[in-house]
Every structure is written in structure tokens, then in C-alpha cells.
Structure 1
Amino acid sequence: MNRPIRTLSVGCLILFVALMLNLTYVQFFKASWYNSRADNRRVTEDAYSQQRGDILVGKKAIATSKPSDDKYEWQRTYPGGKKYAPITGFMSYSYGQSGVERSQNSVLSGKDNKLFTNRLVDLVTNSEPAGGNVELTIDSKVQDAAYEGLTALGDDVQAAAVAIEPSTGRILAMASTPTYNPDRLATHDFGAARKSYDQLSKDDDEPLLNRSIQTALPPGSTFKLVTAAAAMENLGKNPDSKVYGGALLDLPQSDKDLPNESGGSCGGDQITLTRALEVSCNTAFGQLGIDLTKEQQDEQARKFGFGQKYLTDLPNQATSTFTDDLDKLDSPPFRAYSAIGQYNVKATPLQMAMVSAGIANGGTVMKPYIVDRVTSSSLDVIDQGNPTKIDDQPAVSSETAEGLTEMMVSTVENGTAAPAAIPGVTVAGKTGTAQSSKERAPYAWFTSFAPAENPKIAVAVMVQKSGTERSEIAGGRLGGPIAKAMMEAAIS
């Protein structure tokens, strides 16, 4: 064989081997990645032609499939409607899936390896293949209270509410407003679905957003719980410790002072840490922020979940952040403002619920989850959610958690969190009002748990925008009643 032919043969062999390797990679190693893509039309069309599993809250299906008289055979419908849309998401031919529809797509479509035996039985018995069912941790009564509370704020409102079971991390409620009707996106009238999606995606109020987990904003004074925890863990503070409570805090390296919201003192030049939390004293917590190192503040926030991705069964979780650059906190004024939940601090409602839940659980923060069980179409349990810690080490000691609980209870009984008080029940809570800019109204926050001595539920409510006058915006006023209703629903 002459040299040119030999060279050509070797080249062809190399190309053939490369082609086989690429096919093997695409069809074997990357198969699950392609199948899980929301924009994979082949998978979508295949899913439309078989019965998809249900998404359930208790025994009630909030997403299900019904026979249709068109070529796709099955129509995805959402009995849970707007109330559950931020959780279920939608299944759309043109836009794929979102929410639980996306994160649990392999189970709902019946393609998950956990359902292999069921697929094999369906094949042998010549039965119609069906997807598995996903049972959620949601408590319908708490979800009702959250959704009704948010919608009662009015039409032009951006807000969210979320609840967690402190001892396990089970998500008991997750509501967001404005919301949308997922049936309009799942319809087989694809022209109507595209029109609906265009309207929703262009809406300035972002109804497709699940604000409970996808919106991170300054948490304001609810973050003072994290600062109080850091001070108790690192500076030896306790509920009775004296802290600065004057009307103005002189900020080193700055020509500006940090004032209290009221403009006056918090009850004297020296007050207890408990009193500082009761009245949400900016100067007290600003001084604690200066006294703490930037590393101590950052580490305490991280222990509660800041800077981490911990929700694995819902997509697109926004990361809560203590700071975007730790070096910036070399400046005392920035540490002071960070300590009161301003400057670069950002949190999702889920994150602030986790702060309360960690305190309620004796200092241990549990990983939140929303998928309780996965069952086959014949209701055999094939997977179960299990409580796990987000870290081997607790966020705070049990003594610190006890002290924080004591102060939060006092904040409900004697301070700004009074709107969450429940007769005959000991409630722990904290308010927050976060400034954003002169052009827009502040954000209202509220976080709490109950019963304080045996916590069953931890809650966070965030009102991003409402029709409330700027002077009337306060976490207790807007978020307190919603949190109260959610806690009452859980413990009734």
C-alpha cells in the first residue's frame, strides 16, 4: 500500500473512532442531560402522549393529567390553580417545565430509574405506561392562610410567604403573588399558550417568579437575629447584656451617623440586648456590627445558610448573600449597616424562615425540602424525603438559641412583633423594614415561630411592593397578621 493511501486510511480510522466515541458520549453519558432539558421537543411530545403522574398535597392532586381528544392524548391540568402555581410550575409544549414539574420531571414522566421495575411490568403486561406521583410536604391549611393573607393585601402587590417545620426542614407553605394560571400555559392551543406566556413574561410585576425562593432582597431588621446570634456566640452577650441604645451611632471613618428609625433613643444610652431587639434598635446592632469582625459576621450568616444552595427539589433558587465582597467590610460603617440587614445583605423569604427555624430547633438548621414521597402509579413508595442538617455543626449553641428565643418572645409580647401574638400561645418573632432607595418604598419583612416552647412552624413573610403609603410600611403591620394566620393554621 502506497503512503498516500495508508495516510488516508489512518485518517478515516481516526475519524470513525472519533465518531463512535462522540455517539457513545451523546447517547449514553449525556442521555439523561438531554432528556432533562426543558426545551427538548422529542421528550415533550413523548410526555404529551402518555399519562403523567400527579403532584399531590395530602390526597388532593394539584397537578394531574386528563385524557384529551387530540393527537397528544393527555392534557396536563392544574386543580391547584394560582395558589400552587409557584410550586407546581407548569408543563408547556413551547416552554418546557418549571417548578416541581421540572425538578421532578423524570419521575412524573415515568423515565426515572427508580421506576424501572414499573416500566418493565407495564411492558410485559402491555399496560399503558404512566408516570410516578410526587407527594409534597405542604400543609394545605397553612398554604391557604399564606395565599389568602397575601392576596388580601391588594391587587398591585409583590409578596411572598413561606413556612418550615423546624425539626425536619419540611416546607409547609410557599406562596407568592402576583401569580398565574398554569392551565393557560399547558393548553394544547399552542398559539394561546404563547400569547399567555408573552403577557406573563413581559409583566413588570413578574408573576412567573416564585418570590419565596427566587427573590433575594435586603432583609432589614429581621437580619438582626443573625447579628444577635454572632454577638452572643463571639462577644459573650446574653439577653440581659447592656448595649448602646442612643439616638445616633457615630460611625468611624464616616461623616454620617446611623440613626434609629424613630429618630430618638431606644430607651437610654445603655439598654439590654432584649430591649434592643424588642424595639429593633439600629444603633445597638450597628455598634455590635462594628464590634464583631467581618469574619465573625460572615461565618454566622453562613451557618444559617447564607451563601449556600440548599434547596434541591425546586429549580432556580436565588442565593442569599451576606456580602458580595468581604474585603469591603474592613470599613466599620459597612459592618454597621450590614449588621442591620442593609448594605449588600440580601435574603430570600425561605432563608429568613430558616434563620427562625434554626433558632426554634435549638440552633440546628435543617435542609429545607418540599418533596415528601415519590410513589409509582400503583402507589408503591419508591423514594422518601429524609430530614438532614445543612451543616454538621449547629448554627448556634443551644444556650444561644434559648436566649434568642427568649428575646423574640419578648419582641412579640412587648415590642414591634405584637401583631403576630396568638392568645394562649407563646410566639417568637421579629420585624424588619428594609430601605431600598428614595425612589421606591421600603420592603416589609416578618419572621416568627410557634409555639416557642415546642415549635411546630417557622414563618417568613416579605412584602416587596404594595399600595401602602410609605410612612405606613412596617414588617409587623403588613407581615405580622399573615404570619399569625399561618402559625394558627399549623397549630390548630
Structure 2
Amino acid sequence: MNAPIRKLAVVVFAMFAALLIATTYIQFVQADQLRDQPGNRRTLLSNYSRDRGAILVDGDPIARSVDSGDELRRIREYPQGELYAHSTGYYSFIYGAGGGLELSKDALLSGTDDLLFYRRIVDLVTGTTPSGATLELTLDPEIQEAAAQALGDRRGAVVALDPRTGAILAMVSHPTYDPNVLASHQLGQVEDAWNELNNDDSRPMTNRAIAGDLYPPGSVFKLVVAAAALESGDFRPDSMLEGPLRYTLPNTTTELPNFGGAACAPTDEVSLADSVRVSCNTSFAWLAGELGADAIADQAASFGFGQSLQIPMSVTPSRYPSELDDAQVALTGIGQYDVRVTPMQVAMVSAAIANDGVVMEPYLVRTVRDQDLNTIEQTEPQELAEAISPKTAEELTAMMESVITDGSGTAAALPEVRVAGKTGTAEYGTNGAAHAWFTGFAPAGDPEIAVAVLVESASDDWTGETGGVVAAPIARAVLEAGVNR
């Protein structure tokens, strides 16, 4: 064989080898990656040919697949779209599964999860079209509706938990959106809706209850500081704290006032219990300095700060800042400086106090069932941590009750029901805007529901937009629905 023919043979052989290697790599190494790409039309068509599992609240579907009467065969439907949008998420032919359970439990809903392996074998043998699993949620429809109606057109979030188990009873984020517009088979309209939602400055697709921007907690964080004080053994509810009209931050000339410029007590001293009741800024700034950043950080961590939770959607970890100077430590005592939280975390703090100091891991999916309604997975309540002792929980509960009966949270009171709570008004930015907070639980003697309410600042001028005025009435509606269910 002459040299040119040998060279040509080598080139042809190399080309066939490259083709063989590339084909093998694509079929075996990249197969899963290519199949799972959101824009893979073949995968989408395959998924649409299946009966995607339903998502149920109290036995009623809040997401289901129905016959579409077109080439895609099935369409996702959300009967109460806006009310549960941030729990369900959306399932779109163009954009795939996104947000909420549609994304985090996509494998179960589509029927590809390993939990359904044996079910798939049976379907293969019998020729049955594969179906996804059904998810039964912990949400209570009456509490969810009460939270949504009470929050109304305001931007913010509401989270309600069963403090005994961690079950999420309500999770509302406003503004919301209708996932039906993304599930439509009118693909041009879907693209327009997608662009409109993603270009909306109010971020309606963001679940403010667990993700998105973290918020300064303001005075609801005083519960964490008070817990640290009581757990230290150096303070009791009747311990006297320094509480002057204005407190000069350490090593600065900056003066911290109380809300409205009012004094916390006739003298420059106020008890820890009264500091919680009237939400005294100066005494808690002083107390934070006495405790130190490490003690407060440790106490925050025991409530769940810094932990990455899956409910099963990811919850953005709340944070207590590090490397603080003395002035900054004082500001964290009133939930300012760089303390940042989710409403879920704030609800967990109240739930732990309500549950004798034990933090339960929050969860949204109660039961997973196959197409024959057999239970294939059931969530068992899990303890996350013992944040405080039962004695500390009892003392904090009494303080929080006084907030409702004779303090800043009277707007959350319920007739003939003992309510424990704490208000907060958290300033942010440089223009004086502030978010309104409330957290608490009821009945205080035998808690059934814990709640956190966040209302984002309506404007730069927040006069009157305090936690006691804005957030407490919303919490009242949610707590009332919870104790009357």
C-alpha cells in the first residue's frame, strides 16, 4: 500500500473512531444531562404524555393534570392558582417545572423517582401509562385563605406552623401570580406572561416567606436576645436593665432612641419582662452588649439561623452577622445592623417557644401516594434542636402574653383565647423606610398555631406603619383561623 493510501486510511479510521467515541459519549455519558435539559422537547413531550401527579390540600387538588384535547395530550391545571402559587410552582411546556413543589418534587410528580421504581416495572409489564405520585400537603385551606385575605394587596408574607410538629399550615407571599398562565398551551401567550412576570419589579414569582431578599427583623429579634439572657443564668424576667431615654452606642457619639422618643419606664431602669412588653430599644441595646455577640449568635443558631432547610423547597438561611464592633453588637440587640431573616425563621422562633423550647423541622408534604393511593412516603415530625429550656420557654411565653394584653401587640388579641406575641418595626436603607413584623402563637397555654407576618414598607414615610398597627391585625386573623379549625 503506497503512502497516500495509508495516510487516507488513517484519516478515515480516525474519523470513524471519533464518531464512535462521540456517539458513545453522548448516548451514555451525556444522556441524563441532555434528557433533563429544560428545553429538551422530546423530554417535555414524554412527560406530557404521562399523568403527572396531583398536589392536594385537605383532599382537594391545587394542581392536577387533565386532558388537553391537543397534541400535547395533558395540561397542568391549578384550580386556586394565585392562592397556592408559591407552594405549587408551575409546570410549563416551554419552561418546564419551576418554583415550589413542581420543581423540588418533579421526580415524584412525573413518576421517575426511585420511590416509584417497582411501580414503573408493573406499568411496563401491564402496558399501563406511567403516572406520577400524589402529594398531600400540610396546608390548612382555612388558615391559608385567612392569611391571604388579611395580607391583601400589601407586599409581604405570612407563615403559620404547627409548633408541635413543624407542619406548615399556611405559606402566603404577596404579590402572587397565576401559574395557569404559564401552563397554557397557547405558547405565544405563555412567553408574554413569562416576560411580564420576570420583568415585574414587585417580583411576584419570589416566595418571600422562604427565599428572595432576607429582611431585618427589628424588634421580633428581641425574643432571641431575651432567650439568650435567660439561658445565660445571669438574668431573670424581673432583672433590671439599663433603659435610658436615649442610649449612646459604645465608642461612638450616636444616640439610639426608643420608638417615638418615649421612655421605657419612669426611671432609667426597666425589667427584662417590661422591656419585652413595651419593646424597649435602649435596654435591649444595652443587654446585647452585656451578653456579647457570641452568646447571641449561639442562641440564634439554636433557633435555626444559618441552617439550610428543605421543606422541600430550599429556605434561605437567616443570619446573625460576624466580626462586630461593640456598637454593632448593640444594634443587633434590636434586630438591626446586618441581622437578616426569613418569615419562616421568625415563625420557627415563636414555634420553639410555644413547644417548650424545641424547634421542629418545618415541612410541607405530609404524605406521598402512588396512583393506587398507597402510601409510599410519610413525613414524620423531626426535632431540629432544643433552642431553650422549658423554663425559659415558659418565662418568654408570659412576657409575650403581656405584649398582647398590655403592650405593643394588643391588635392581635382574641376574645377568650390567650395569645402570646411580639411586634417589630425594622428600619432599612438610608431613607427611613421600615418593614412591619408580628410573630406569636395561640392558645398560649396549649399552642396549636405559631405565626410570623411580614409587611414590606409601603413607602419611605412609614409613620404609623408599625408592627403593632399593620402586622398584628393580620396575625390575629391567622391565629383566629388556626384556633377555630
Q: State TM-score, norm by structure 1.
A: 0.91
Give the whole-Å Cα distance in 2 for the aligned partners of 1:24 and 1:35: 11
Give CA-to-partner distance per residue, 1:154-193, whole Å, 9 cap, x none: x4x3111010111111000001111111100110111111
Is structure 2 residue 393 aligned with structure 1 residue 401? yes
Of 419, 422, 432, 2:411 maps to 419
Give the whole-Å Cα distance in 1 for the aligned partners of 2:233 and 2:481: 38
Q: Is the 8 A contact 1:134 1:371 kept in 2?
A: yes
Of 219, 233, 236, 2:234 maps to 236
Is structure 2 residue 479 aligned with structure 1 residue 491? no
Give CA-to-partner distance per residue, 1:357-414, whole Å, 9 cap, x none: 01111111111110111001111100001111223xx111111111111100111111
Is structure 2 residue 219 aligned with structure 1 residue 224? no
Shift in Å, 1:113: 1.3
Tell me the SS of whatever aligns to 1:351: helix
Q: Is the 8 A contact 2:245 2:264 kept in 1?
A: yes
Q: Is the 8 A contact 1:221 1:340 kept in 2?
A: yes
Aligned to 1:108: 109
Amino acid at match of 1:236: D
Shift in Å, 1:121: 2.1
Aligned to 2:338: 344
Q: Is the 8 A contact 2:457 2:465 kept in 1?
A: no
Mean CA deviation greater in 228-237 or 205-214? 228-237
Give the whole-Å Cα distance in 1 for the aligned partners of 2:134 and 2:105: 9
Of 175, 192, 204, 1:178 maps to 175
User: Which ranges of structure 2 fall in alignment gaps of 5 or more residues?
Assistant: 1-5
Aligned to 2:118: 117
Shift in Å, 1:438: 4.0
Which residues of 2 match residues 441-460 of structure 1 at below 5 A? Answer: 441-460=433-452
Tell me the SS of whatever aligns to 1:383: strand
Aligned to 1:375: 369
Aligned to 1:310: 309
Shift in Å, 1:50: 1.6
Aligned to 1:64: 64
Of 472, 476, 481, 1:480 maps to 472
Aligned to 2:77: 77
Tell me the SS of whatever aligns to 1:43: helix
Tell me the SS of whatever aligns to 1:442: strand
| Alignment CA distance shift 1:35-1:463 (3 Å) | farther
Give the whole-Å Cα distance in 2 for the aligned partners of 1:17 and 1:190: 38
| Alignment CA distance shift 1:310-1:51 (3 Å) | same
Give the whole-Å Cα distance in 2 for the aligned partners of 1:409 and 1:311: 31
Aligned to 2:199: 202
Tell me the SS of whatever aligns to 1:488: helix
Of 250, 259, 273, 1:252 maps to 250
Mean CA deviation greater in 64-73 or 466-475? 466-475
Amino acid at match of 2:477: A
How many residue pairs were aligned? 473
Amino acid at match of 1:206: R
Is structure 2 residue 331 aligned with structure 1 residue 332? no
| Alignment CA distance shift 1:23-1:235 (3 Å) | farther
Q: Is the 8 A contact 2:432 2:460 kept in 1?
A: no
Tell me the SS of whatever aligns to 2:297: helix
Is structure 2 residue 100 aligned with structure 1 residue 99? yes
Is structure 2 residue 127 aligned with structure 1 residue 161? no
Give the whole-Å Cα distance in 2 for the aligned partners of 1:91 and 1:334: 45
Tell me the SS of whatever aligns to 1:236: coil
Shift in Å, 1:15: 11
Q: Is the 8 A contact 1:162 1:349 kept in 2?
A: yes
Give CA-to-partner distance per residue, 1:111-170, whole Å, 9 cap, x none: 11111222222222222221110111001111011011111xxx4x31110101111110
Q: Is the 8 A contact 1:38 1:102 kept in 2?
A: no
Q: What fraction of aligned residue pairs are identical, expressed as a percent?
A: 42
Aligned to 2:352: 358
Amino acid at match of 1:409: E
Give the whole-Å Cα distance in 2 for the aligned partners of 1:34 and 1:388: 37
Give CA-to-partner distance per residue, 1:20-74, whole Å, 9 cap, x none: 68865545xxx3x766665554432221122111000011000011101111100
Shift in Å, 1:289: 0.8
Q: Is the 8 A contact 2:432 2:461 kept in 1?
A: no
Aligned to 2:186: 189
Give CA-to-partner distance per residue, 1:453-492, whole Å, 9 cap, x none: 1111100000113369621111121111111111111111
Give the whole-Å Cα distance in 2 for the aligned partners of 1:321 and 1:261: 24
Mean CA deviation greater in 360-369 or 237-246? 237-246
Give the whole-Å Cα distance in 1 for the aligned partners of 2:69 and 2:18: 51
Give the whole-Å Cα distance in 2 for the aligned partners of 1:42 and 1:162: 39
Give the whole-Å Cα distance in 1 for the aligned partners of 2:34 and 2:219: 44
Q: Is the 8 A contact 2:433 2:459 kept in 1?
A: no
Q: Is the 8 A contact 2:309 2:317 kept in 1?
A: no
Aligned to 2:297: 298
Give the whole-Å Cα distance in 2 for the aligned partners of 1:110 and 1:322: 40
Aligned to 1:274: 273
Give the whole-Å Cα distance in 1 for the aligned partners of 2:148 and 2:161: 15
| Alignment CA distance shift 1:36-1:322 (3 Å) | farther
Shift in Å, 1:246: 1.3
Mean CA deviation greater in 424-433 or 266-275? 266-275
Q: Is the 8 A contact 1:235 1:292 kept in 2?
A: no
Give the whole-Å Cα distance in 1 for the aligned partners of 2:205 and 2:347: 22
Q: Is the 8 A contact 1:310 1:390 kept in 2?
A: no
Give CA-to-partner distance per residue, 1:240-261, whole Å, 9 cap, x none: 1111121111222111121111
